[in-house]
Structure 1
Amino acid sequence: MVNRVVSVVLLALLAAIHAQLWLGHGSVAYVKELQQQIKDQYAANALEKAENDRLASEVNDLKDGLSTVEEKARSELGMVKSNEIFVQVTKR
């Protein structure tokens, strides 16, 4: 009778451990989901880092020379020098 009780208790513990492994907070599916979230976050971080690097480069260009400032003024604001004529071409 004692052997039977011990066997039942051990089987119950084994079932509880398996339930935790497959269904609980630390389950295999939960870990895979977290790993996918980590991969997605790394990809998003890489995109943001590339954008930050581009913006830092643009800031350095603006600090270093007036050619970038002039280019931005011409393209974004439509500014021209005193002896130039502004011509805008539109596509149909």
Structure 2
Amino acid sequence: MKYLSQFVLLALAVAVLLGLQYQYWLGENGRFAHNKLLSDVEAQQRANDNQVAANNLLRADVQDLKTGLEAVEEHARLDLGLIKPNETFVQVSTAPTTHSRN
């Protein structure tokens, strides 16, 4: 009888230990979920850092457009095709040339 009660106590302790291990590794807020959450946070932080860099570039561009005429002229030349008086427009083609011998 003494050994039976010790066996039951040992079995209960093992069951509790297994239950706690299950909660630690596979539970709702377990170790695997924690690691996944950390990797998601790192990915979001990288995306945020990229967006901050893009926003800083746009802020600098807006500030340059507000203060200087050179940026306005550059945008007009690139986007609208501005050509000032007494300037010559030259367009260089980057298309590959093909020759036929017909």
TM-score range, shorter chain: 0.7 to 0.9
User: How many residues get paired?
Assistant: 92
Structure 2 SS opposite 1:85: coil
Report the TM-score when normalising by structure 2.
0.79
Report the TM-score when normalising by structure 1.
0.86
**Alignment match of 2:84 (pick from 50, 59, 81):** 81
**Counterpart mapping for 1:17-28 below 5 A:** 17-28=20-31
* Stretch of structure 1 that moved more, 59-68 or 1-10: 1-10
Kindly state the Cα deviation for residue 68 of structure 1 after the two structures are TM-superposed: 0.2
Kindly state the Cα deviation for residue 41 of structure 1 after the two structures are TM-superposed: 1.1
Q: Which has the larger radius of gyration?
A: 2
Q: Greater helix share, 1 or 2?
A: 1
Structure 2 SS opposite 1:32: helix
Residue 9 (structure 1) aligned with residue 8 (structure 2) = no
- Deviations along 1:33-61, one digit per CA (max 9) or x if unpaired, are 11111111111111111000000000000
Structure 2: unaligned runs, 5 residues or longer: 96-102
The percent of aligned pairs where both chains have the same amino acid is: 37
Structure 1: unaligned runs, 5 residues or longer: none
C-alpha separation between the residues in 2 aligned to 1:77 and 1:90?
19
